[in-house]
Structures are given as structure tokens and as C-alpha cells.
Amino acid sequence: MTLLHWATISPFLLAIFIPFFYKYLKKIHTGWFVLILPLVLFVYFLSFIPVTSSGDVILRSVPWVPSLGINFALYIDGLSLLFALLITGIGTLVVLYSIYYLSKVKEKLNNFYVYLLMFMGAMLGVVLSDNIIVIYVFWEVTSIASSLLISYWFHREKSTYGAQKSMFITVFGGLSMLGGFSLLYVMTGTFSIREIIANVELVTGSELFLPAMILVLLGAFTKSAQFPFHIWLPDAMEAPTPVSAYLHSATMVKAGIYLVARLTAVFGGSAEWFWIITLAGLTTLMWGSVSAIRQKDLKSILAFSTISQLGLIMSLLGVGSAAYYFNDGDNALYTVAILAAVFHLINHATFKGSLFMTAGIIDHETGTRDIRKLGGLMTIMPVTATISLVGLASMAGLPPFNGFLSKELFFTSMLNATEFGIFSLESFGIILPVLAWIASVFTFAYCLIMFFKTFTGKFKPEELDVDHVHEAPFGMLVSPIILGLLVVVFGLFPNILAYSLIEPAMAAILPGILAPGEVFDVYIHHWHGFVPELFMTIAVVILGTLIFLTMKKWSKSAFYQGERDIFNQVYDGGYDGLVKGAQGITRIQMTGRLRDYFMYMCSFIILVLGYTMYRYDVFSVDTSNLSPIDPYMWVISIIFIGSVVSVPFINNRIGVIIVTGVAGFVVALMFVVFRAPDLALTQLLVETVTVVLFMLVFYHLPKLKKEPVNKRLSVLKLIISVGFGAIMTMVSISAFAMGSGAGFPSISEYFIENAKELAGGYNIVNVILVDFRGLDTMLEILVLGIAALAVVTMIKLRLKGSEDV
Amino acid sequence: MEILMSIMIGIVFTVSIYLFLSRSLLRVTLATLLMSHGVHLLLLTMSGLQRGASPFLNFQADAYTDPLPQALVLTAIVISFGVTSLLLVMAYRTFKVHNTDDLDELRGSADE
């Protein structure tokens, strides 16, 4: 265990002590104890920047299950460091914010911080691990922690619904991903990502390439809320706002992005990877931005906006993967998409985090997040309004904020993609910039709606539940102010990030593209000249404003009124259908009638045995070895068959018992014929005792009724029983034929030869029973003993409340 | 003889399966009894019948009937006797407690 390992699991360790802090230090808000950890971790991870920016990596491995090749291996390169900084940095701010957001008195803070720390540790584990199984383990912990946090107010029905939904969808994806990882292991024989990348030709050349890719992508898409798996994210907004800001905008939803970025080196360069990711991303972008426009709840708008921004990053990763097709790092045409993705990843985390926090502040101070009830808050909450303005302008892509820069880069890379001339891009490539542009128009429009509906217009105090609306306390404003400042700083001086964070991250996403010693050319320009991107942005601003200004016209439409995504109906319908279907099947099949179960079993035996006999042609008749039939045997058979067959037809208790007795005594007679005197003796004795027993309980048993005639049932019973009998006859005949035809001597030769020499007995059967195979006999005695005890117990034991005493 | 026995075994199984599918608990108990007869005969038949003298070395015969299946059947008879008597008492107790021996009426339980 190195320091890095301890750092990764430190949130889990701290989580253990949270309940103690909560219980014994009640005066201090538990969050203050938590706050130190992410701050220390953030500083600790900052210390790695010189390492990664010089192009080095750090690998620390501790064996976990060495026999399976599963090691707790941690790996720091540009990409994982970037994510680690996001997780710890925003984690610090979110914890600080939550201290002021969550009441010390009313809330169960111990639960909250345990879940949050659990999540933080798991997320660090996901981004730092090199071993895919370890990644999977941490991945599922993030799902669990996320569900716990969504259902933090578990007495609310919507919270538990949202938690359940996110759990189902992300765990479904997580399991698919495990399948994909297993396929990667099958192809390469290792669980280490670095080794998989080093042996990437084993993957690209394999026929399992596509299945593995799709399974892994299912995991990434469900986690990162890509279309059509995005439906869980808006329902996850039932979580407390710090959680929404942390998990559902900055970190967890980026786990899928991380995975895609990490595995670009494995799957990149193929047309499938390019098109699936680009199209999924663009569809998500489009769908999210259009859906965001019709939301009335601040957090719902932000949720859909997160979905759409994640789609944007995803599509950039898709376009950037083409670099592996050309295998050429010098040409900025291919790598600019990766640059844009990494840059927007940082930007999104900053402005979306601050926007969630301001939404939380508005909710906290006014008691509602409904934009129809809000308005005119600009003068009442000036600080909040300013932070929101900065965040929204950045999200909309306005200069001079960082969102503008990444949006320009986004347009550039989508336009570039049309010039690649691969993967049929020359014919279909034009849809990429067009979709991107339309989505940006809607993004601009919902940013306008969000700002102007909340902060301008008429203040409506009568709609709000709180008496006095005022600006939030300073402590609550610190985190959004810091994030807002970062938005401005990164917007004005983007190149402070260029070679410290962005270039190492690009090099980590695209390893092996550059010749050793080279670096990617990262310089983010504010001004490109009069290029198409600029005109696209201007058109976005004009059209977006138009949409906002005409809002009165289209806000009456059904489109605006319906908020819920159509895919929710698919999910809900599927869920209900599954439950109802399972109930229906159970009701049909589990009747509670023993007869039905017995029919299933018998039918199954008949079908399996019959099919096997037919399929493998195992039924054989060998008449060469048959023993002759003695004439008196016919008489015995007729009596036996007669007595057995008459049993079902007799509706008279004493008659049935006598007829069964006859059958038993005839069996004893057959044992005589077959030269088995011991059997005959035992059978006679046992049959007598059985008949006596039947007679004993006879008085207590009900009269046999004639079974009510049900034609269909009787036919079914007849078919099953005759089928079973026929199968048993065939089994018996062919077992005999095969036994006599196989030519193996019977093991009984040994018993016959040695019964006298070894055991000193003449009766071979008895010698076998008590000497050669005495254990059987001992246990059979045990069976009899248990049966006797059970009989006594059943007769003697009278439980309270039973009907007879 | 083996084929004749096989057919008889088939008939025993047919009848016992048919009885198993009936509603009366007594008939089901009888069905287990009959089926055990079928199984015992099947065990004997499969190894071939009447291959010589009874398995007593006193006879000093050239060939003896296979003793091993006989030992197996002997064990099986005793065990099925134990099971049958247990089932019988159970049927009797069930009737006493529930006042019915109709399996259709006995199905289900309150906390299902």
C-alpha cells in the first residue's frame, strides 16, 4: 500500500468515523470534519502536475487477487489526474456548500456524508485504477452511493423512485460493461488497461471486437446519461442540491466519458466506434437541449442541460477517435476534437457546478424552483444573479467566458470532421455540424429562459412560501463564487491550463499517436478571424434570442406543456409489464395443486427421455439373451396386471387395499420365480405389515369418493401416465439389451467367488448386505428408525391451535 | 421373460402415475406403494432374470442368479416400506387435522 493507495481509499476510511463525529460532536456541523479530506487530496493531486506535464506516468500496484491477475493498480497520467482534480476540487466546494445548505438540526448528516465520502472514494478509484476489474468494483460503488444519495430524503416517494430508476439503469450498464471487460480479458489475457493498450492488435483483430465494444459502451452510455439512457438523470434531481451539483453534473456522469476517453486507444480508429459515439453524443446533445427548453423546474433544466453537454463531450470524443485511423498526431485536424472535449469537460464542471449551487440557493431562499413562480430576483439576490449570469453565459457559449472557447472548438472539430474523407463522412458528415449547430441554438435559448425568467420580470412574493426573501448567507455563496471566478479566469486565460492539464490529458487519451518527445500543440485562441465558426455562433445568438422572444407564442403548445420525456413511458411501461408479466406467469404456473406440479415433472421426464432415445437412437431390443418364459408365469402376470390395473377403478376403500395387497403378494411370488428367496421373504413380510397398517388407519380415513369426471383432465392424465409407462418399458428393455450386449462381466462374479473365502457365508445376498456393502444396511436401519420416530411424533404431537386434540 | 416383465413394469408405472394424479390422498399413498413395486422389479429385470440357481453357495451350482441386484432391492424394499408407512400416517394426520383428504382442497396456505 503506497501513499497513493491510502489517498484513494481515504474517503472510505473517513466515512467509517463520520457517525462518531455526528454523534459525539453534535455542536459542530459534521461537514467541517469532512471538508479537510477533499482539500488535502486536492493539494496532494496538484503535486502530480509537474510529473504528468513532463509526460511521465506513475504506476503503483498492490496485489489483490494475484492468481486471477487482479491487482489494485493505480495509474496516474494526464487523464486520471484531470479527473482526480475535478473530483477532489469540486468535492471540496460541494462539501463546503453542503455545510450551509443542509441544516445541522433537521437533517441526518451522518448518512449524507457517509454516502458522499463513499461516492468520492469510489469515483477516485474509477479514474485512478488501471485494472478493469477494480474499475468495475468502484464503478458499482458509485452507482450504489448515487442511489443512496438520490433517496436521501427516503420518505418522499419521488426520491425513492428516482433512486430505483438510476440504480436499475446504471447497474444494467455496469453489468454490460463487466461483460465487455471480460471479453477484453478473453482477447488479451490481461485485466490491465495499459497492457491491453500495448497489445491492442489482439483486440482489433478479434471477432469479439464489436461485442466487447458495444457492451463497454452500454456501461459508459448508461452512466453518462446518453440517449436513450438519459431518463434517470432528471429523476435524480430529487437528491439534495449539493449531490446534484457534485454527482449529476461534475463527476459521476463523467465516469462514462472517462471510460470512453480511456478506451479510445483500444477501440478508436474503427468506423463503428466513431459513428456510435459521435451519433449517440449528438443525439443526446440535440435531445437534451430541446427537452431542457420545456422544463419549468430549475434543476430539471439543468439536468437536461447536463445531458446535452455530456452528449457534446461524447461526440467530440467520437470525432477525435479518428486520429487513430490516421495515426498522425501532428495534424490538428483530428486532435482538436480531443482538445475541445478535454477543455469542455473542465469548463462544464465549473459552470454547471456553480449553476446547480445557485439553483440550490434560489430553492433554499424562496422555497421553490419553479420558473413560473420565480421572477425579479436580480435586485434581491444580486450575487446569486451575477454568478448565474456568468455560468449561463458560459453555457450558452458567449465570450469572454470559457464556454465560448470550447464551443468554438466544438464547431471547429465538427466542421473538420466533414473533411476527413473516411467512414462515409464525405456523404453523411454534414449532419455533424448541422446537428451541433441546431442544438446550440436551443442551448442558447434555454440559458436565456433560465436567466430572464428567474431574475428579471415581476417579483411574485405571493407565489412563494417564505415570508422574507433575501440573499443567501456568505458561506453558501463561497463555492459558487469560486467556480464562477474559475469560469471567468479560464475564459480569459485559457492557456494556463494548456500544458499543465489539457495536453497531458490529450496525450493520455491518444497514447502512441505522438512520436516520443513530441507534444500536442495546444493553444486556445480567442480570435480565429472571420471563420465559419464565428458566423455559426452569431447565428446561434440571433436564433436563440428569437426563440426566447417568441416564447409566448409557443409556450401554449403541447410540446411545452409536456415535460416528461417520452422514454419514461417506455421505462415505466417496461417495468410494469415486467412485474405484471412475472406475476401472470407465476399465477398460471404455480397453481398450488400438487397434481399440476406432478404433471409438469412427468411431462418433462417423458419429453427429455423420449427425445434422447429418439435423437441418439438408444432404444434397442436384443432377443438373443432373453430367458424363457415359464408357462405359470403367464398366470402370475395376468393376476398381477389385473390387480394393478383394477386399483384406479375401485371406489371402495377395503377393496383397494386388498387389491394392492394382492399385487404385493404377487410380487413376492415373482421373487420366488426369479430365484430370490430373501426378497420373497422380505416382500411377504413387508406387504403383510403394510396391509395391516392400512387396515389400522382404515377406520380413520375418509371414504373413497369417485373422482369427479373431467373429460379433458382424464385424457391428459391418461396420456401422461401411459407415456410414462411406455418410456419406463423402453428404458427397461434397452437397459437389459445394452447390459447383456456390452460384454462386461458382472461385478457379482467377485461376490460369488469370495463370499465364502472372505466373509465366510453361503448366502451371497446376506453377505453383500452385512459384509461387502454393510454401510447401505446401516443407513437403511437409520431410515427405518427415523420413519418410526416421525410416525410416533406425528401421532403424539399436538400443537396448540390445531383442530383435533 | 425380460420383455414380458418390462411390459408389466410399464403397466405398473402407468397405473401409479395415474393414481398420483388423482385428488384423493389415499390413492396417492397407494401410488407410491405400487411405484416401489415397479422400481424393484425394474432393478431385477435389468440385470437379467433366472441365470442359474438361487444365490446360495450350498447349491454348488455352475451359475447363480446375480446377487447384487437382489441386495439392492432388499435395501429398497425396507426403505420404501419406511416411506410408505410414514406417508400413510401423514395422510391419516392430514385428514384428522384438515378434515379432508382432497388434495385440491388442501392446496395453498394462508400466508402464500
Is the distance from CB of A273 to CB of A210 less than 8 angstroms?
Answer: no
Q: How far apart are CA B66 and CA B58, in angstroms?
A: 16
pLDDT at position A337? 84
Q: To 5 degrees, how large is the angle CA A375–CA A379–CA A383?
A: 105
Q: Are A234 and A300 in contact (CB under 8 A)?
A: yes
- CA distance linking residue A134 with residue A124, whole number of Å: 11
CA atoms of A399 and A314, how far apart (whole Å): 23
Instruction: Give yes or no for a contact between A73 and A131, defined as CB atoms under 8 angstroms apart.
Output: yes
| Interface probe, candidates A621, A670, A675, chain B, greatest B C-beta count within 10 A | A675
Interchain contact B52–A (C-beta under 8 A): yes
Contact assessment for residue A703 and residue B101, using Cβ atoms and an 8 Å cutoff: no
What are the domain boundaries of chain B?
Answer: 2-51+63-98
Sign of CA pseudo-dihedral A471, A473, A474, A475: negative
Return the pLDDT at A805.
46
Higher pLDDT, A614 or B48: A614
Chain pair A-B, CB pairs under 8 angstroms: 271
With H, G, I as helix, E, B as strand and everything else as coil, classify residue A427: helix
**Nearest CA to A74 among A136, A141, A7, A145?**
A7
Residue A344 DSSP one-character state:
H
CA A167 to chain B, closest CA, distance in angstroms equals 29
Q: Is the CA virtual torsion A32, A35, A40, A41 positive or negative?
A: positive
B105 touches chain A (CB under 8 A): no
Q: Do A729 and B46 touch (CB under 8 A)?
A: no
Q: State in words which class domain A594-746 has.
A: mainly alpha
Q: Which residue in A157, A159, A158 sits closest to A149, CA to CA?
A: A159
Asked whether the predicted pLDDT for residue B112 surpasses 60, the reply is no
Distance CA A470, CA A472 (A): 6
User: For chain A, which residues score pLDDT lower than 70?
Assistant: 327-332, 425-426, 466-467, 515-517, 525-529, 558-563, 702, 704-709, 799-805
Tell me the residue type at A434: V
CA neighbor of A449 nearest in space, from A300, A301, A248, A562: A301
Q: What are phi and psi of A763, to 5 degrees?
A: -80, 105
**Do A764 and B57 lie within an 8 Å CB cutoff?**
yes
Q: What is the pLDDT of residue A319?
A: 85
User: CA gyration radius for chain B?
Assistant: 19
C-alpha cell at A427: 456523404
Most A-contacting residue of B9, B18, B104 (CB-CB within 10 A), to test interface: B18
Predicted TM-score (pTM) of this structure:
0.82
The DSSP code for A744 is P
Contact A66, A10 (CB under 8 A): no
Check residue A559 and give its pLDDT: 66
Closest CA to A99 of A186, A23, A35, A21: A35
Rounded to 10°, the helix B67-98/A677-698 angle is 0
Q: What is the 3-state secondary structure (H, E, C) of A186-249?
A: HHHCCCEHHHHHHCHHHHHCCCCHHHHHHHHHHHHHHHCCCCCHHHHHHHHHHCCHHHHHHHHH
With contacts defined as CB-CB under 8 Å, which chain A residues touch B47?
Answer: 736, 739, 746
Q: Name the nearest CA neighbour of B24 among B111, B110, B105, B109.
A: B105
Interatomic CA distance for residues A232 and A136, integer angstroms: 20
Nearest by CB to A707, which of B22, B74, B82?
B22
CA–CA min distance A763, chain B (Å): 5
**For B66, which of A686, A746, A763 is closest by C-beta distance?**
A746
- B residues 70-99 lying closer than 8 A (beta carbon) to A: 70-71, 73-75, 77-79, 81-86, 88-93, 95-99
Q: Torsion-angle region of residue A638: left (phi > 0), alpha (psi -120 to 50) or beta?
A: alpha
Report the residue from A724, A731, A795 with minimal CB separation from B14. Answer: A724
As a whole number of angstroms, the distance between CA A624 and CA B65 comes to 18
**Nearest residue in chain B measured CA to CA from A674:** B50
Q: Are B90 and A794 in contact (CB under 8 A)?
A: yes
- Residue ranges of domains in chain A: 594-746, 747-805
- Alpha-carbon span A730 to A609, nearest angstrom: 10
Chain A, 589 to 608: residues with Cβ < 8 Å from chain B are 591-595, 598-599, 602
Under a CB-based contact definition with an 8 Å cutoff, are residues A151 and A245 in contact? no
Of the candidates A657, A723, A644, A662, the one whose C-alpha atom is nearest the C-alpha of residue A692 is A657
> How far is Cα A145 from Cα B103, in angstroms, rounded to an integer?
50
Calpha distance A305→A288 (Å, rounded): 6
Buried-state track A16-25, b at ≥16 Cβ within 10 A, e below 16 = eebeebbeee
Please work out, in degrees rounded to the nearest 5, the angle formed at the alpha carbon of residue A342 by the alpha carbons of A340 and A343: 65
Query: With contacts defined as CB-CB under 8 Å, which chain A residues touch B78?
Result: 682, 686, 780, 783-784
CA distances from A618 to A609, A727, A730, A738, B47 (A): 10, 12, 10, 9, 18
H helix or E strand, kind and range, residue A613 = helix A594-616
Secondary structure of chain B in the HEC alphabet?
CHHHHHHHHHHHHHHHHHHHCCCEHHHHHHHHHHHHHHHHHHHHHHCCCCCCECCEHHHCCCCECCHHHHHHHHHHHHHHHHHHHHHHHHHHHHHHHHCCCEHHHHCCCCCC
Cα–Cα distances in angstroms (integers) from residue A17 to residues A43, A110, A267, in the given order: 22, 9, 42
* Contacts A800 to B, Cβ<8 Å: none
Chain B interface includes A804 (CB < 8 A): yes
Measure the CA–CA gap between A537 and A440, rounded to whole angstroms.
8
Cα separation, B79 vs A373, in Å, equals 81
How far apart CA A313 and CA A332 sit, in angstroms, is: 18
Which class for A373: exposed (0-12), middle (13-18), buried (19 or more C-beta within 10 A)?
middle
Q: Which three cell numbers stand for residue A719?
A: 396420456
Q: Measured between CA atoms, how close is A708 to chain B, in angstroms?
A: 9
CB-CB contact of B3 with B48 (8 Å): no
Average pLDDT, chain A: 86
Distance CA A52, CA A737 (A): 77
Is residue B7 classed exposed, middle or buried when 0-12, 13-18 and 19+ CB atoms within 10 A define those classes?
A: middle
- The single-letter code of the amino acid at A43 is V
Given this model, what pLDDT does residue A340 score? Answer: 86
With cell 403383510, the residue in question is A688
Distance from CA of A764 to the nearest CA of B (A): 6
d(CA A746, CA B63): 12
Neighbours of A371 (CB within 10 A): 20
Nearest-Cα residue of chain A relative to residue B71: A765
How confident is the model at residue B37, as a pLDDT?
A: 93
Task: Provide Rg for chain A, Cα atoms.
Answer: 38
pLDDT of residue A560: 66
Q: Round to whole Å and give the CA distance between A326 and A274.
A: 13
Q: Fill in the DSSP letter of residue A461.
A: G
- Check CB contact of B110 with chain A, cutoff 8 Å: no
CA distance A803 to chain B (A): 6
Whether the per-residue pLDDT at B110 is higher than 60: the answer is no
Residue indicated by cell numbers 390413492: B27
Cell 456568505 belongs to A474
Residues 6 or more apart from A418 whose CB is under 8 A from it? A425, A426, A429, A430, A432, A433
Contacts with B, A 617-676, CB within 8 Å: 621, 623, 625-630, 633, 637, 640-641, 644-645, 647-648, 653, 656, 660, 663-664, 667, 670-671, 673-676
Q: Is the pLDDT of residue B42 over 50?
A: yes
pLDDT at residue A802, rounded to an integer: 56
Can you say how many angstroms the Cα of residue B54 is from the centroid of all Cα atoms in its chain? 24
Dihedral angle sign, alpha carbons of residues A671, A676, A677, A678: negative
Q: Do A648 and B18 touch (CB under 8 A)?
A: yes
C-alpha cell at B30: 397407494
Q: Is some CB atom of chain B closer than 8 A to the CB atom of A773?
A: yes
CB A731 within 8 A of CB A609: yes
